[in-house]
Amino acid sequence: MENQHPPLTGLTEEEVIASRKAHGANILTPPEKDPLWKQYLEKFNDPLIIILLIAGALSICISIYEYFATDKGGAVFFEPVGIFIAILLATGLAFIFELKANKEFSLLNQVNDDEAVRVIRSGNVTEVPRKDVVVGDIVLLAAGEEIPADAELLEAVSMNVDESSLTGEPMCRKSHDPAQFSKEATFPTNHVMRGTKVMEGHGKCRVLAVGDKTESGKVFVAAQIDDSVKTPLNEQLDGLGDLITKASYAFAALIIVGRLIMYFSGSAPFQWVGFISYLLQTLMIAVTLVVVAVPEGLPMAVTLSLAYSMRRMLKTNNLVRKMHACETMGATTVICTDKTGTLTQNRMSVRTAVFPSLGATPTLADNDASVLVKEAMACNSTAELDLADPNKPSAIGNPTEGALLLWLREQGIDYKAVQAAAQRTGEIPFSTLRKYMASTVRSANGQHVLHVKGAPEIVLAMCSDVENLDAINTQLREFQNQAMRTLGFAYKILGEDEKAIDDEGNLAASGLQFLGVTAIADPVRDDVPAAVTECTRAGIDIKIVTGDTPNTAKEIGRQINLWDNAKDGDANLITGPELAALSDEELEAMKQQIESLK
């Protein structure tokens, strides 16, 4: 059990006002947007639109000349009118589609600022909207709640936090006890971050940062930065625009030079009036060539194509802010992907259960051996199942323990009924130091039973006379090499006066009986292997970037057809510190080595 703090009084109303004035409100400030007219004018920066504008202006000059020099009448203005209609349609459609996309992004970026948060103020527990939380507030945290701001833990009891929104890790152990601090953690063990979620346990924390100054706020701000990097389509259109401009100007210059040579090589005497008239006709021919060379329909075709792509992507829950970004996906050569929740379901499940007492194929029949297994999973647990949708049950609390309950449900067992039939009489909660959890249970068959589950090596050390120990250890190594999380189970039938847990909350019993092991994994999403295969066939390289161990990443890569044990080796696997230590030359050499293996 972790140390207790003296009573916390929190901030007074005056301190709350002063803190909000000093540090701001707990909201993410939306980026300042340009006025609509300026957003619309930005569409005229497209290279093809610029060429069309120049062509339109020249076309007006030609039309004015023809209007006064010929008897064609107002029909001569159809050409410039058509060009400017094409410009307005292309820019207007692009503006409307991107404006709608920006509205969708604004809705996604809004947080539920009015959600109630429990805080201690002036010595009393009260609820305030999330946006009113300030630096210095004492916030109460419970399982299932989203953390409202970056904070330092003052108290923590069996607390696990889902930090996947920031680090990709779905389960991070949190504690205020320095003895349990982890040097490998992305964020300090005694810190919790805005937007992450308490999966298990409870505690109290003091707010250190709110709004834009939180880690999630920094991510939000960074996401708004426009680095002005051009998409491949932008670059291609720029090149096309340059080509059209240079080619049309070159041909126009050749026409002018050629007609002037023809004029001066003729036998007619030179006259200024005739020469000026001839020169104007030559210039009009050259300008007409420039106008004709511009593809008026191309900007509209590009806009409609990208707009249609935006709509198709929106139907598959992919929101695109800028239309030209749609094309970048077609030009992708490398995809760097996270593992948890992207390649995998972010939902732990029992892959294999090995209980010798149940036989080679575990079936939970109505016998004493099955009762022990069911109670070991259902009663020695802190997790629950959300059965709001019976077809898609989900775990609440520790995902590993939740996986055990889901496995029971797959076997047709109601874990609630098991818990109701067996009364839990004592508990030792799990901790990273102990690496196990223990519970004493008055079993449904009347026996008093101690159940222990945890790291297999710890559980096995508590047991006596374990049969086939070498085979069990070999099986465990195979599971771990396949990136599975293993749990060992043991039990002991207690005498009526036997005490399994002492007064200090430590395990007093010894000589346990080994029950079995389970191998738990985060399964790969069903659609991922096919998607990976499709990408690799298209020439796209896929890299897994994860905070998990190299063996875990390798196993997930194998399951999604990205890793081949016969071809891939150590050159295809590198950790963050190893990559940071490489020089540019060494990195290039490694790249060439990998290319040679393909």
Active site residues: 338
User: Using alpha carbons only, what angle is made at residue 346 by residues 345 and 349, rounded to the nearest 5 degrees?
Assistant: 80
Euclidean distance between CA atoms 24 and 136, whole angstroms: 12
- Residue 251 corresponds to which amino acid? F
SS (H, E, C) 47-59: HHHHHHHHHHHHH
Euclidean distance between CA atoms 286 and 251, whole angstroms: 8
Euclidean distance between CA atoms 243 and 333, whole angstroms: 26
The continuous run of DSSP H or E covering 312 comes out as helix 297-315
The answer to whether the beta carbons of residues 109 and 220 sit under 8 Å apart is yes
Give Dmax over CA atoms of the chain in angstroms.
133
Euclidean distance between CA atoms 150 and 518, whole angstroms: 36
Euclidean distance between CA atoms 592 and 483, whole angstroms: 29
The answer to whether the beta carbons of residues 481 and 551 sit under 8 Å apart is yes
CA 363 to chain centre: 38
The continuous run of DSSP H or E covering 91 comes out as helix 78-109
HSE at residue 219, side-chain half, CA atoms within 13 A, is 10
Euclidean distance between CA atoms 442 and 447, whole angstroms: 6
Q: Which of 254, 340, 318 is nearest to 290 (CA)?
A: 254
Exposed / middle / buried, residue 433 (Cβ in 10 Å: 0-12, 13-18, 19+): exposed
CA 474 to chain centre: 36
CA dihedral 10, 12, 16, 21 (to 10 degrees): -130
Euclidean distance between CA atoms 302 and 241, whole angstroms: 14
Radius of gyration for the alpha carbons in the chain, expressed in angstroms and rounded: 35
CA terminus-to-terminus distance, the chain: 54
CA distances (Å), origin 461, targets 271, 450, 476, 486: 114, 16, 14, 15
